[in-house]
């Protein structure tokens, strides 16, 4: 099974009060000598370590059963080791979920706790749009979904035009007419493809798309594209629809998504830095980011790949605070320490579908605290208007009153 954002959101809600939630990530080793054997040894070590940590633990029996089961399953993961894998399990609550992941995880990990460890999948999925891959030539079109390294062909989305006879049969006595007819057929075909694309984007089947075709067909499809379909195109590769293999399609598409992601990450970092300095539509540093998250202002979250910081979480209201205080500043109840605040904010980020990018080795970003956010609006600029009024105004197509500023980076 391939993971979706919706599934991650569900997992982010899961909690086992006895801390018997087991998370396992499997990253296959690079194919080299004895890698297989090393993996098996590593897995046993991880399991032993996890089990040792369970002593005096409420969910011990449940977690032990799951860790044993992970060990048994891992033999199979090892032998078809081209995929990454994720397992989310809690025997006490009768839960066992296995997912395929692209083999680009930071490493193999086994964790036990109250909640599932979601950082590795959030890293993969937080900034991974729903991508369609469209292959086209004069007569054919094939549409695929690319989800976390899995490519699936969409059947029945596109019905090829019925072609009557072979057009070149006319060439002997009416070459001109036949050519016009062929050109017209091709135009109709590309128009139909553009129509399917527009519809797929409108229905949210995909948010971005990639085109695989020959140059000559690109120039025929392009004028037919709806402006927002043209905008949602993130890259092109050269493809012969009849002969390209699934592996080739996947490799090309994956590469283009990565290029697009790193370009988008680069733009976002420079945007957040300049906004934080000038317009107030960006915030940097843990304290301000936590505050903006609680206000529901955050549109895009940027976190340093290795960002780690302590914080406290209120046991009553869930408030997160960068200051390690024993009493919640919001409701005065007791707090508990959070060892990795980047992990603690993830369920909230995932639940609200906030676009999340992990930033690697960026000295500028490092200087501002390795965590930052772009805001959709600043709530401290909102004038007190009755709730619902803003919505009604928006529906009526009128401008927002006062100084409420909206921000869209896309
Ligand atoms: Zn509180």
Weakest-pLDDT range from 202-211, 261-270, 383-392: 383-392
- Provide the pLDDT for residue 55: 73
Predicted confidence at residue 175, as pLDDT, reads 55
The torsion region of residue 73 among left (phi > 0), alpha (psi -120 to 50) and beta comes to: alpha
Q: How much is the mean pLDDT over the chain?
A: 81
pLDDT of residue 124: 75
Q: Largest alpha-carbon pair distance within the chain? A: 92
Give ∠ CA 147-115-107 in degrees, rounded to 5. 55
pLDDT digits (tens, 9 = 90+) for 22-50: 999 998 876 655 556 677 788 888 888 88
Ligand 1 centroid to Cα of residue 117, in Å, is: 24
% of the chain with per-residue pLDDT over 70: 83
Ligand 1 ion: residues within 5 Å (CB): 314, 316-317, 319, 328, 330-331
Residue among 144, 135, 132 at smallest CA distance from 240: 135
- Rounded Cα gap, residues 206 and 9, in angstroms: 18
E strands within 305-370?
311-314, 320-321, 335-338, 355-359
* d(C-alpha 323, C-alpha 268), whole Å: 27
More confident residue, 353 or 188: 188
Task: Characterise 139 by phi-psi region: left (phi > 0), alpha (psi -120 to 50), beta (else).
Answer: alpha
Distance CA 262, CA 91 (A): 39
- Tell the burial category of 60 from Cβ atoms under 10 Å away from its Cβ (0-12, 13-18, 19+): middle
Q: pLDDT at position 192, please?
A: 92
Q: 243-257, 272-286, 319-333, 343-357 — which is least confidently predicted?
A: 343-357
Q: Assign 308 a pLDDT band (cuts: 50, 70, 90).
A: confident
Residue 295 Cα to ligand 1 midpoint, Å, equals: 15
CA of 327 to the centre of ligand 1 (A): 8
Distance of CA 336 from the midpoint of ligand 1 (Å): 11
Instruction: Give the per-residue pLDDT at 234.
Output: 94
Distance 354 CA to ligand 1 centre (A): 23
240 — pLDDT class (breaks 50, 70, 90): very high
Can you say whether residue 148 is alpha, beta or left, with left for phi > 0 and alpha for psi between -120 and 50 degrees?
Answer: left
Average pLDDT for residues 337-343, to the nearest whole number? 85
pLDDT at 174: 52
Torsion, Cα 77 79 82 88, to 10 degrees, reads: 0
Residue 391: pLDDT band (50, 70, 90) is: very low
22-31, 98-107, 323-332, 345-354: range with highest mean pLDDT: 323-332
Q: What is the pLDDT of residues 77-108, one digit of tens each?
A: 887 767 789 999 999 999 999 998 887 788 88
CA of 320 from ligand 1 middle (Å) equals 8
pLDDT of residue 47: 87
Measured on CA atoms in the order 283, 410, 218, 193, is the torsion positive or negative? positive
CA of 311 to the centre of ligand 1 (A): 13
Residues 242-259, mean pLDDT to the nearest whole number:
92
Ligand 1 centroid vs 326 CA: distance in angstroms?
A: 11
| pLDDT reported for residue 179 | 76
| β-sheet bridge partners, residue 132 | 145, 209
Ligand 1 center to 70 CA (angstroms): 37
């Amino acid at each position: 099974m391939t993971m979706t954002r919706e599934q991650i959101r569900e997992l982010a809600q899961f909690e086992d009060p006895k801390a018997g939630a087991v998370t396992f990530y499997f990253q296959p080793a690079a194919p080299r000598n004895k890698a297989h054997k090393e993996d098996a040894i590593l897995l046993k070590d991880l399991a032993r370590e996890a089990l040792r940590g369970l002593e005096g633990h409420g969910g011990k029996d449940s977690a032990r059963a799951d860790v044993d089961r992970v060990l048994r399953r891992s033999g199979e993961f090892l032998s078809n080791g081209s995929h990454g894998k994720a397992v989310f399990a809690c025997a006490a609550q009768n839960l066992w979920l296995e997912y395929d992941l692209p083999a680009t995880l930071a490493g193999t990990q086994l964790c036990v706790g109250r909640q599932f460890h979601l950082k590795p999948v959030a890293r993969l999925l937080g900034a991974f749009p729903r991508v369609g891959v469209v292959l086209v030539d004069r007569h054919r079109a094939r549409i695929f979904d690319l989800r976390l390294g899995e490519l699936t062909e969409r059947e029945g989305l596109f019905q090829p035009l019925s072609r009557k006879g072979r057009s070149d049969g006319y060439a002997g006595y009416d070459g001109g007419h036949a050519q016009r007819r062929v050109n017209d057929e091709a135009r109709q075909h590309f128009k139909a493809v553009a129509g399917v694309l527009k519809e797929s984007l409108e229905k949210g089947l995909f948010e971005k798309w990639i085109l695989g075709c020959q140059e000559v067909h690109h120039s025929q499809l392009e004028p037919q594209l709806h402006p927002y379909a043209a905008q949602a195109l993130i890259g092109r590769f050269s493809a012969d629809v009849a002969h390209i293999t699934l592996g080739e399609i996947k490799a090309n598409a994956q590469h283009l998504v990565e290029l697009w992601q790193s370009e988008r990450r680069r733009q976002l970092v420079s945007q957040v830095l300049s906004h934080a300095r000038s317009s107030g539509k960006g915030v940097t540093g843990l304290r301000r980011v936590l505050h903006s998250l609680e206000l529901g202002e955050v549109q895009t979250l940027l976190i340093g790949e290795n960002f780690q910081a302590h914080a406290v979480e209120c046991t009553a209201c869930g408030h997160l605070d960068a200051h390690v205080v024993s009493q919640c500043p919001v409701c005065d109840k007791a707090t508990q320490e959070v060892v990795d605040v980047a992990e603690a904010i993830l369920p909230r980020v995932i639940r609200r579908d906030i676009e999340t990018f992990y930033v690697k080795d960026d000295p500028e970003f490092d200087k501002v605290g390795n965590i930052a956010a772009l805001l959709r609006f600043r709530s401290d600029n909102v004038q007190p208007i009755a709730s619902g009024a803003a919505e009604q105004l928006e529906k009526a197509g009128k401008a927002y009153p006062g100084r409420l500023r909206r921000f869209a980076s896309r």
